Structure 1
């Protein structure tokens, strides 16, 4: 499998492509990373250095890949944090080119815009572009519960409203949806959940909620779920594997006492997930 991954990059820490690429490589996926920013560190520190990459420069990198004649070999286009407003058009253009070269390719969009605790942390125009321009051409989207609410104009706060929002999101164009960071009042205390849905059904998986703000864990989640789903076509299997891998990564990071993901140290969790969390079918 080959994935063209259009995301941010940081020198220190693990977010965007700096979080997604290694876990994908560890499970045998060839990754072509294209950067939308090249920062010293993620913005959660409140200070960072380095450039936001201009859309024309991102477009030029993709054009150079196209000139190598390899777009037909790409199975998945994956996008995450987009940086500037013009990146949306670059991503949509790249998806069209890849699908023209390989009609069997899919586009997976992680619509990064914010979370329930921090609110939106991207430029105000980007959520609108994601909703109106980017998500509509995606085959798979991986929003967190907060982002799902924005995309669908709803307030997903319990199981019924979250499932309704998932179907509204699928009506926008994507056939498959993974919702991360699902919280609901009737869930088992001390847990957090993910929901995956496609034409075959919907499944939910619950894992212990660990006391760690793990920047980049959503990027790892989106990447692994995308690869497993593309490989097997099973949302339930992809959900089980991803939940196990990401829990192992966060658990190992918490034990280390480090703020940054122990991405390399936890690599066995990607290659050989313990499969300790069983998804439950919802429909």
Structure 2
């Protein structure tokens, strides 16, 4: 399958397209990256160099691909962090162009806004833009639990409230919602969960919690889940494969003592997930 991935790029480290591309390629998919920024490193370091591309420049890249007659070959569009109204418009326009050329194509939105520990780290204008202008065009949404609550104006914490919030998000457009990190008070100590809610049911998977921050892990998660879901047609299988690969990636990164994800070293975990965690249907 061919992916059109509209995300950031960094030379050093792995976030945005610099995190999503290689795992998809290792699975055998073609990736056409459209960069929104070209930075030396991700902004979590507090200092970086390189340009943020204008919306017109980003749109021009998509137009150039369209002029090759290639948008009809795209099976899935991905987007991550959206820095402002201009980029939001570019992403929505690109999704519409792809779906016009190929009605079977899907769009996965990773609504990067923050997390429970750091809070919201985007401008106040971004969540309403994603909620009102992006979600209606999305087929798959991949928020963490905090972002899910922010988008739905709820406070999901239990399994039932997280399911309810996911259903609210699904009513906004995307039929499949992958909650990439679920932390409910009644879970076993030192564990974390992922939850997927789709038209045919809801499933949860539990893995050990690894106590460190890994920039770019959400970008990998969104890309892998989309690839597995589109390939298998099964949300539960996609959840199991994604959770297995991401856990092994994070384990390898933690063991290395490095700050940046060990994506290249973990390539076998993408190609051959160990499927070491059980998926439980919860609805």
TM-score bracket, normalised by the shorter chain, equals: over 0.9
The answer to whether the 8 A contact 1:52-1:83 is kept is no
> Structure 2 CA distance, aligned partners of 1:24 and 1:279?
23
Structure 2 unmatched ranges of 5 or more: none
Q: For this pair of structures, how many residues does the alignment match?
A: 283
1:145-156 matches, within 5 Å, as 145-156=145-156
Shift of 1:85: 2.5
SS at match of 2:8: strand
Shift of 1:43: 1.2
Shift of 1:177: 0.4
TM-score, normalised with respect to structure 2: 0.99
1:31-50 matches, within 5 Å, as 31-50=31-50
SS at match of 1:86: helix
- Name 1:162's counterpart in structure 2: 162
Moved over 3 A (4+): none
TM-score, normalised with respect to structure 1: 0.99
- Name 1:73's counterpart in structure 2: 73
> Structure 2 CA distance, aligned partners of 1:120 and 1:47?
20
1:173-206 CA distance string (max 9 Å, x none): 1110000111010001100100001111000000
Structure 1 unmatched ranges of 5 or more: none
SS at match of 2:85: coil
- Name 1:103's counterpart in structure 2: 103
Shift of 1:118: 1.1
> Structure 2 CA distance, aligned partners of 1:218 and 1:269?
16
> Structure 2 CA distance, aligned partners of 1:194 and 1:209?
11
> Structure 2 CA distance, aligned partners of 1:11 and 1:268?
23
1:3 aligns with 2:25: no
> Structure 1 CA distance, aligned partners of 2:38 and 2:126?
18
> Structure 2 CA distance, aligned partners of 1:129 and 1:84?
8
> Structure 2 CA distance, aligned partners of 1:12 and 1:40?
6
SS at match of 2:188: coil
The answer to whether the 8 A contact 1:55-1:84 is kept is no
Shift of 1:120: 1.6
1:9-45 CA distance string (max 9 Å, x none): 1111100000000000000110000011111111111
> Structure 2 CA distance, aligned partners of 1:105 and 1:56?
24
The answer to whether the 8 A contact 1:8-1:83 is kept is no
SS at match of 2:160: helix
Shift of 1:84: 3.1
> Structure 2 CA distance, aligned partners of 1:131 and 1:117?
22
> Structure 2 CA distance, aligned partners of 1:257 and 1:187?
28
SS at match of 1:7: strand
1:87 aligns with 2:87: yes
The answer to whether the 8 A contact 1:80-1:111 is kept is yes
